[in-house]
A and B are shown apart, each in its own frame.
Chain A
């Protein structure tokens, strides 16, 4: 039997901006097993619900993750609204959808950049982040924040977007779409990129399903689950088709995200066409009494916020399950049997967000 050695990966690693630790068990250059350990950035803010009023906790929920912050805040708000039977105005639902999809654009572009970085394509990394800045500009103009927005609140949203601004955003997206087309062409058709991503980190459909893969990781293996299809916020009133692929390798997961960029742009433009005039918030009185599981589609997959209140200003329990946590078992399956040099590509192909995972 070949001698086994253990190579540590992380927590401080050049390819990942966040700390996750993997012990890679190697036989020569081949990874035979992976032992993950997490907990480097656990903060424990689920317990903060006992110290923050339920209306203030939106800010904490938003800071679960700096990349999909808006969606975290929104999911928490939707959960509390469901417990309290609050009907959110239609315009607020549309605005939430628009900001959610901008979050997805910014997250996927960020990921494409980091993914390019993982196989050493620096120029592509810079280009993806250049386009991403245009998305962040929209966030800054409409909410005031670049990565943490703070616009979602229980009962609606805090800021309105003027109709002229919405029209400008819509036409702006046309030019962003052209830039994204050029960018994704390189990811999907460039020989060097395909060489690094094709047949790397293959996850079969059965494995993806049984290991609980969610989001683009699952959809890249043919598991057709997209919670936007459940029609929360304004998604029920918009047309879009779910993006799936059947190969289950790193290229498929990249392909799914590339196509989702275009579906997000379509969704935003549809929402801007259909958005009704009206109020953006309703007055909230009382406190939540009851419990609710609220699910939403984050850029990385299914996000679950469990909220339980007892009729006081302070919630009893909050539980957040984020997509990366569900994807770690799939990641281990993908890594088993791969070459050491492919480890960064495979780890990044699930789009790990450790801040979400460890809460």
Chain B
């Protein structure tokens, strides 16, 4: 267990969700589900965050913001796509302003299904992402220092 696994910080961005998944993400942070007891903290600053939770699908206007937020996060980092919209566009996939899942813009580590995704599913997804985060951290530490890329440059 490292400090990352003990207290991962999350950041949330609503790409073009209907709000259903967004409020379930917040519900997971508040009493009843209360992931803060595990040290998970919601932050608004991408530079502080380890886990990026994205709800909703991408469109032309917000793809830059999504990419920018992701790039600002320091390595190692993981992306969790929450809800069916973030995976494929879901019920809105045929709309003219929906490009599809967020994996078209940033690499996704975990997909959480559901419309809207339940808080239990979101917690499961984040726990799974923490395993991937730890593996990424290990891989990063094993690399010789000279080949390490500065934060923000990775794909």
Contact B62 A133 (CB under 8 A): no
How many pairs, one residue from A and one from B, have CB atoms within 8 Å of each other in the complex? 125
Q: How many chain-A residues does the 8 Å CB contact rule pick out?
A: 44
CB distance from A67 to the nearest CB of B (A): 5
Chain B residues with CB under 8 A of A356: 19
Asked if B45 CB lies within 8 Å of chain A CBs, one says yes
How big is chain B's contact interface, by range? 35 or more
Please, what's the 1-or-0 string for A99-142, where 1 marks a CB less than 8 Å from any CB in chain B?
A: 00000000000100100000000000111011001001000000
Chain A residues with CB under 8 A of B25: 17
Chain A residues with CB under 8 A of B18: 63-66, 69, 148, 355
CA distance A40 to B61 in the complex (A): 6
- Residue positions of A touching B, CB distance < 8 A: 11-15, 17-19, 39-45, 47-48, 51, 59-60, 63-67, 69, 110, 113, 125-127, 129-130, 133, 136, 145-148, 353-356, 358
Contact of A45 among B14, B32, B95 (CB under 8 A): B95
Given contacts A17-B14, A17-B19, A41-B56, 17 further A-B contacts (CB under 8 A): A13-B44, A18-B19, A39-B61, A40-B59, A41-B59, A43-B16, A43-B57, A43-B59, A48-B94, A66-B21, A66-B116, A69-B18, A110-B23, A113-B30, A127-B31, A355-B17, A358-B16
Which chain A residue shows the least CB distance to B68? A12
13 A-B residue pairs with CB within 8 Å: A12-B65, A17-B25, A42-B16, A42-B97, A44-B98, A48-B95, A63-B92, A133-B27, A133-B30, A148-B115, A353-B19, A354-B14, A355-B17
Chain A residues with CB under 8 A of B20: 63, 66, 69, 147-148
Chain A residues with CB under 8 A of B77: none
Contact B62 A40 (CB under 8 A): yes
Contact B22 A47 (CB under 8 A): no
Chain B residues with CB under 8 A of A18: 14, 19, 22
Which chain A residue shows the least CB distance to B118? A146
CA distance A15 to B97 in the complex (A): 26
